[in-house]
Structure 1
């Protein structure tokens, strides 16, 4: 089957502070040569530390930013070659839930006024009365009850968890096929995170909505993605991707191994058996001046001569794709 979403050699370069965009040395590669596919009804987690480019990918997929290179295909068609009508359908069917729920809502408008306009614009409701009725049903679905209590409130009158539910309701209101969720639970109380993750999982199962789940938290990625896919980002590059279960059960790239080794384990017996992966450096290199060869080599304890000269490409190892020259020499991980 044709994938719902396909990224081909995606690049996103920004100008550096001196503003000289023409020279390669004066560009910052936030996303460099990233390719992956997502099927209808599938969930994919994009994980990595801050500054790795995962949020940039999310904004490009949602159509908020235009990439400097590569293509994005939605339902088999390049979005840059879509007609105006096709582009309107794309913008309705691909929604984004932002990390900062307060910044994503107009502070001067009530919740109802913020949510009714997209519904009327995209033909989901004929008028304000119909929009109110449909939003009431959605608010019940996302756990905002009684719905009328939240309709006329302003964003500052709601908690972080309530605002995130409002954003999920707004995304659902236009009947999307793909939702890009950018760190949706990172600014929510720990006690509410599971309920929001369960809500997104419910949306995936009941409505067949695909998700790109962007996070730095491997625990929440494992919880929500379950049988889906994972992509591990480092300094703008995709370094490992595949089925979440196989990738996390047998991490092959040293960077992913380091991430997993840093996760605390509440079981003392397992914690003592767990092997820590030391790094040469805790500092991430400057993305404006990435290292030659493998971008992870200044921090990798397994780095060899080739790692400093030649950048590794994603290659199939088992059922997964890994970009590492030393993958075969990396010992089996214990965690």
Structure 2
């Protein structure tokens, strides 16, 4: 459905205190999202995840590389021609409180895109109310109770479900979920995550899941790929469970080490680790981007920039070919929490 090849994005800033500065938001990102599949991106704040999501939905441009949607390379099209392809890709906003117009009811919020969609497809414009009810039911809401309400009359979880219903009004083929549960109460998160999984299964919608939460990426992206992104560069990628259970890049290991464990039920992984210093993007890094913070860096890490290569490149096993890393001195470490009984055995 979507193929990204070497996507780059650079910003030029000139802050009052920092002066001129070049920010490399994305550095040659590649991924393939099949129909009905899932790709997750994890990383700390500022790593480029949200920029990638905006590029995929046409809200942001990219400097270099190719973005192919449905077999069509979009950079070769004029802006108006690209619009119909980007319409097939809808964004689920991070903040359900600001994503909805506070002066419009749910009925009005869903009505406009549904009438526009009916006009485009030659459908019955008068059937939009029925379709709105179908979408609200699909996302787990009671239409009669929700349609006449304004956003402030809904809970956070209800608002996010309305945002998802609005995204579905144009019959998208891909949903971009950018931190879709980060601003929702913990008690409501599982319901939204389950809904996203259900939409993949029932409607065959592809999903790009952007998050800093490893657990949610594992739950929603089951069976898909997980990409670990650092300072705009993918440093490790592979099947979701392979990357989480066998992390080989030190940055991935640090991310997973930060995942809280349930005391009494779990024990921390024996090889947990942490970065040696805070992130400073102003530091020149001709070698590995993570070298200034890496607890395992060697001398050549500061001069040689690693690229993604298969784990166990000499092996012919399919798993080795699917798990890629960008580290000069990789070593798999056990950092994910394990069950207390298993740890003591």
Who is 1:242 aligned against?
238
Moved more, 86-95 or 223-232: 86-95
Q: Equivalents in 2 of 1:209, 1:85: separation in Å?
A: 24
Q: Equivalents in 1 of 2:15, 2:268: separation in Å?
A: 50
Who is 1:22 aligned against?
none
Deviation, 1:129, is: 3.5
Deviation, 1:120, is: 2.1
Q: Say which SS state the counterpart of residue 6 (structure 1) adopts.
A: strand
TM-score w.r.t. structure 2 length?
Answer: 0.88
Who is 1:79 aligned against?
74
> Residues 61 and 67 (structure 1 numbering): CA distance in 2 closer, same or farther, change over 3 Å?
same
Q: Equivalents in 1 of 2:227, 2:269: separation in Å?
A: 27
Who is 2:179 aligned against?
183
Who is 1:323 aligned against?
326
2:155 counterpart of 1:167: no
Moved more, 289-298 or 233-242: 289-298
Q: Equivalents in 1 of 2:332, 2:202: separation in Å?
A: 41
Who is 1:51 aligned against?
46
Deviation, 1:160, is: 1.1
Q: Equivalents in 2 of 1:66, 1:33: separation in Å?
A: 14
Deviation, 1:156, is: 1.9
Listed one character per residue, the Cα deviations across residues 44-77 of structure 1 (whole Å, up to 9, x for unaligned) are 1110111100011001001111112212111121
Q: Say which SS state the counterpart of residue 132 (structure 1) adopts.
A: helix
Q: Equivalents in 2 of 1:320, 1:273: separation in Å?
A: 21
Deviation, 1:290, is: 4.7
Could you tell me which of 193, 198, 201 is aligned with 1:202?
198
Task: Mark the runs of 5 or more structure 1 residues left unpaired by the alignment.
Answer: 20-24
Contact 1:92 1:122 in 2 (8 A): no
Task: Mark the runs of 5 or more structure 2 residues left unpaired by the alignment.
Answer: 312-319, 337-345
Q: Equivalents in 1 of 2:237, 2:221: separation in Å?
A: 13
Who is 1:111 aligned against?
106
Who is 2:253 aligned against?
257
Who is 2:116 aligned against?
121
Deviation, 1:85, is: 7.4
Equivalenced residues, count = 323
Q: Equivalents in 2 of 1:176, 1:300: separation in Å?
A: 41
Deviation, 1:148, is: 2.4
Who is 1:154 aligned against?
150
> Residues 26 and 171 (structure 1 numbering): CA distance in 2 closer, same or farther, change over 3 Å?
same
2:296 counterpart of 1:302: yes
TM-score w.r.t. structure 1 length?
Answer: 0.90
Contact 1:96 1:181 in 2 (8 A): yes
Q: Equivalents in 1 of 2:173, 2:335: separation in Å?
A: 38
Q: Equivalents in 2 of 1:7, 1:262: separation in Å?
A: 29
Could you tell me which of 53, 59, 64 is aligned with 2:59?
64
Could you tell me which of 36, 42, 49 is aligned with 1:41?
36
Provide runs of 4+ in structure 1 moved above 6 Å.
none
Contact 2:39 2:207 in 1 (8 A): yes
Contact 1:293 1:309 in 2 (8 A): yes
Q: Equivalents in 2 of 1:103, 1:190: separation in Å?
A: 19
